[in-house]
Amino acid sequence: MVIASILKGKGNQVVSLGPDDTILDLARLLARHRIGAALVRAPDGRLLGIVSERDVIRGMAGHGTGTTTLPVSQVMTRDLVTVLPETQVIEALGLMTQRRVRHLPVLDAGGGLIGMVSIGDLVKARIEEAEQEAEELKHYVTAAG
């Protein structure tokens, strides 16, 4: 299974905010959408980074009580780990494990943003794939027996 098939099911809506939005804005955005990370984009739409709950915690540890007023650009992750629509789910899971990330922006061949997948999306897809394989094996054994 490839990343494109996950995006077909979940859609390509991506939650993002600007680099000058505050950590408090981010917290409200994440809570409203019930997600763990948002992309940070320039006014022209360019992808600047990603900011997650983990980044907020690190920001609080480094900046203390005034963290909520900081711009997200001060705590966001700039070194993005991305995938293509044709990336295999198992490959993306390995990348997440290796790079210790939970969200992967999905870019087209030209570098344009077309969606984002989370570790939950990938695990769900992998479980569905395994269940389908088990069902196919069961039918094969039943038909052969």
Count of structural domains within the chain = 1
In terms of residue numbers, what domain contains 19? 3-144
CA distances from 99 to 7, 32, 35, 64, 124 (A): 22, 27, 20, 27, 20
Q: pTM of this prediction?
A: 0.87
In tens, the pLDDT along 73-117 reads 999 999 999 999 999 999 999 999 999 999 999 999 999 999 999
CATH number for the domain spanning 90: value is 3.10.580.10
* Paired strand residues for 104: 117
In tens, the pLDDT along 40-74 reads 999 999 999 999 999 999 999 999 988 999 999 99
CA distances from 107 to 41, 45, 101, 139 (A): 14, 13, 16, 38
